[in-house]
Structure 1
Amino acid sequence: MQQERCGWAMNDSVEQVYHDNEWGVPSHDERYLFEMLNLEGAQAGLSWRLILNKRAAYKAAFHDFDPDKCAMLTDEELEHIRETAEIVRNKLKIRGVRKNAIAFLKVQAEFGSFGAYIWGFTDGKQIVNHWTDMSQMPAQTALSERISKDLKKRGFIFVGPVIIYSYLQAIGMIDDHVITCPYHTENRS
């Protein structure tokens, strides 16, 4: 059987690099967990390709997604980012980075790390699916609904169940590579 990467990452080099190196790869890195949470939220209603192409600008605008620095951003700094940065200029999404940083720091204080909190939903284990076709992949699951509800309760925004399902894929809690993809967990060497 010929192995071919997942269909969504076949036409754009930025998506291919992300697909091949990050998507579905388990991460416990705090900065990365915070970055992906905010990038997935920024993507709401837009294409992932657009966000990936603006990723460097997001990192520059938000101090490489350092949650401590993002929590300290002033209203004036956030407005300057909205006016000048080459990112999606949605005021609520931009202010959401600060709001999420504050909530993120509270979770770190409570659980020791955000990674301990988020991975606790799966007892630290990756969920490896075995899709034969991308059309089988759900947009959300009971798990993403449960995590979404808990995150909202803790003060996070732009964390609906569809966004959170994408987030879980991004941080590798869920491996949704089709089984013929060379980057599926069971095909990686």
Structure 2
Amino acid sequence: MDINAYQTLLDRCERLDQSPDSDLSEDDRRSLDFYRAETQYTETGHVDDVSAPLKVRKWIVNVAKLDEFDVRYKRAPHKRAYPPRDKAAREETRLAEWVDYHRGAWDTLCTYQRERLLCIPSFELDPHGNQWDAQIERYNEVVEHVGRAPIVTSDEEEERLAAGWATRVRSRMRHGTLPKHRADEAGTLKYWWWEK
């Protein structure tokens, strides 16, 4: 856990907790529910001792599991393609699905939930963003090197990889599964062609 970010979050919530209720926004109230519940959970170590709604208690337990996973494995949990057989793999898959759900629901989370997740080093809001950026960079380097669009039958591995990536991106564009901002970015690439 990023201790500095977590302490900043706790300090802000502690000050917020001292504010008159009339000064609090709905987001502040929701944030305080999670803050108070996590504080109780940290002190007691038992979720049954936490006086909060069930969904809040479940959330703090899962964020604690995510913290523990990050400390133990130094990475984010991964989903398994097939139903895992052992308990640890099932738990990792379940945790990865929980993380994915919260990425998708990011705009509906309260400030405390968002900031708390961001305290976990392995948590990424857009885990594919770095991969996407690396692929764009590879594509641009290949195009500069060969002076044309990359082709999959090339003798050079980097060109084949760039061409394969471009093919997969076009397929996702065709099927409507590529986010608009990614499609817009791909559309600006040199020698990029696109037909529906």
Bigger RCO (CA 8 Å, 6+ sep): 1
- Shared fold by TM > 0.5? no
Q: Report the TM-score, using the length of structure 1 for normalisation.
A: 0.33
What TM-score does the superposition give when structure 2 sets the normalisation length? 0.32
* Structure number with bigger Rg: 2
